[in-house]
Amino acid sequence: MLKITEGNRLALRDARMKQAETRLSKILARHWPETCAALGPEKLLILVRRGLDEAFAYGFHGEGDVARYLNLMFAFGPGFDLSGAYPAIASHLNHDGMDESARMDLICALAEEVLADGRRT
């Protein structure tokens, strides 16, 4: 019988996380080529990891929702969630009781309005 140790589980989790980091970095590079080129691979990876940590803390676990969170970070700047500059967006990050994808849909709709109006709300 094959026994998977806690070390094996952690190694598998780390490998999956590295794969997700790579996929998310590529997505960002497609959508934000100039920004990602200016950052370089090391700083981009640092931002992706920060975004992953923040997205997970807000209850976003699906890769699509995490990717959208990272796009928000790039659109509004790292720390947008705590800056106070976008309260309508930030107020929905911790909205309990709402499905994570529905919540991200709402946040992205608000973000589109903010970007279209060129205002902070």
Distance, in Å, from the CA atom of 102 to the CA atom of 98, rounded to the nearest integer, reads 7
**Is residue 1 in a domain?**
no
**Is residue 74 in a domain?**
yes
**Is residue 48 in a domain?**
yes
**Is residue 58 in a domain?**
yes
**Is residue 24 in a domain?**
yes
In this predicted model, what pLDDT tens digit does every residue of 76-90 receive, in sequence order?
999 999 988 988 898
Nearest CA among 51, 119, 48 for reference residue 86: 119
In this predicted model, what pLDDT tens digit does every residue of 42-77 receive, in sequence order?
999 999 999 999 999 999 999 999 999 999 999 999
**Is residue 57 in a domain?**
yes
**Is residue 2 in a domain?**
no
Could you give the dihedral angle defined by the CA atoms of residues 87, 77, 82 and 96, in that order, rounded to the nearest 10 degrees? 70
The domain in which residue 104 lies consists of 7-117
In this predicted model, what pLDDT tens digit does every residue of 13-44 receive, in sequence order?
778 889 999 999 999 999 999 999 999 999 99
- How many domains are there within the chain? 1
pLDDT attached to residue 9 = 64
Pinpoint the alpha helices (H) of 32-79: 33-57, 63-76
